[in-house]
Amino acid sequence: MRAIEMTRIKSSLVFTSMLSMAALFAGAAQAADLTIISFGGAIQKAQRASYYEPFEKTGAAKIVAGEYNGDMAKIKAMVDTGYVTWDLVEMDGNSLARSCEEGLIEKLDWSKIPSKKDLMPEAVSECGAGTLVWSAGIAYNADKLTTAPTSWADFWDLEKFPGKRGLRKSAVHTLEFALLADGVPKDQVYSVLNTPAGVERAFKKLDQIKPSIQWWEAGAQPQQWLAAGDVVMTSAYNGRIKDAQREGMNLKLVWNQSLFDLDHWAIIRGSKNKALAQQFIEFASNTANQKVFAGEIAYGPTNMPAVQSLSPEVTADLPTAPANLEQALATNNEFWLDHAEDLEERFNAWAAR
């Protein structure tokens, strides 16, 4: 009997041990956390509805969502110290090009992203996957401004449109807008800006309205300022303005002389979840999910079948609508890759004076 009892005890211990190991492996198999950093606000709300929550439902990962204003300093610090707490970051084209060149982000394995075949060519690069097309243009509150501005020359016209103006505190786009206001044709903006005389011309034009400029650094600020009457007009992202319209604000965007660019997903160098991040990029690049995203916020999909599947009503508010694209200027990220450091340094010194 004692032998039988001992056998039972051993069997019980083995079974308990097996249960413990099963629980351990089950815990290890649970979804990991994937930290994704974007520009926050309305865009993060749309990303949550179209990408984050559906991805979590697949059981692949829990999304830890954060936001930043595009500043690369924290990313560089993480990579330099080896203490990487972010996995995937949304970047504009200029930041992507610089980060890739400086080795701050991982090179993508496009064989793991089958939706590549459906993406517009500009969305496919060594270090990033383009996820949306956005525009920056003049925005104003139609309830507070009876005469609508139609160009950057109007933005600079302090007599016709007295009051504060909002501009992003960055050389990128601000210098282009200044040259457009000074009469430079949009197809010549970067050739002019690529000369010392062109740079001088842009800063001289900015001098004309400097006392009236209110600088913004977060994408949500322009529409808040317009609603409060803090500025009479401001540069703003088209998706933010459309989102404000959905909330009942009578804000308008001027598509003429707007600038457009792509935002991209980029994986921080040293991320412990690189494979999972690439899995998310594929999920966020497919036709069905990009179509949902375009319905949530007015940024153009990079997935071409998704673009073609949208209704004319939705398409009309996107940067990729032919009528809007015809009036716009593409951001030249190669120019900014070569000149950003010098021009940002000069711009910050000028703004601080």
Gap between the Cα atoms of 166 and 156, Å rounded:
11
Gap between the Cα atoms of 178 and 169, Å rounded:
13
C-beta separation of 50 from 289 below 8 A: yes
The tens digit of pLDDT for each residue in 234-248 reads 999 999 999 899 999
Q: What is the pLDDT of residue 30?
A: 57
Does the fold of domain 135-261+330-352 match that of domain 28-133+262-321? Answer: yes
- The average pLDDT across 18-39 equals 63
Gap between the Cα atoms of 265 and 250, Å rounded:
32
Question: 28-133+262-321 has which CATH code?
Answer: 3.40.190.10
Q: What is the pLDDT of residue 18?
A: 44
Name the residue ranges covered by the structural domains of the chain: 28-133+262-321, 135-261+330-352
Alpha carbon separation from 191 to 186, 206, 238, 335, 337 (Å, rounded)? 10, 19, 26, 9, 15
Does residue 57 register a pLDDT over 80?
yes
pTM: 0.80
Residue with tokens 């501009």: 167
- The average pLDDT across 225-241 equals 96
Q: Coil, helix or strand for 329? A: strand
Angle formed by the axes of helices 196-207 and 174-181, nearest 10° = 80
| 138, β-bridge pairs | 235, 254
Q: What is the pLDDT of residue 69?
A: 87
Q: How confident is the model at residue 19 (pLDDT cuts 50, 70, 90)?
A: very low
Q: What is the pLDDT of residue 32?
A: 86
Question: 135-261+330-352 has which CATH code?
Answer: 3.40.190.10
Can you point out the beta strands (E) in 45-110? Answer: 61-67, 88-92
C-beta separation of 255 from 137 below 8 A: yes
Q: How confident is the model at residue 320 (pLDDT cuts 50, 70, 90)?
A: confident
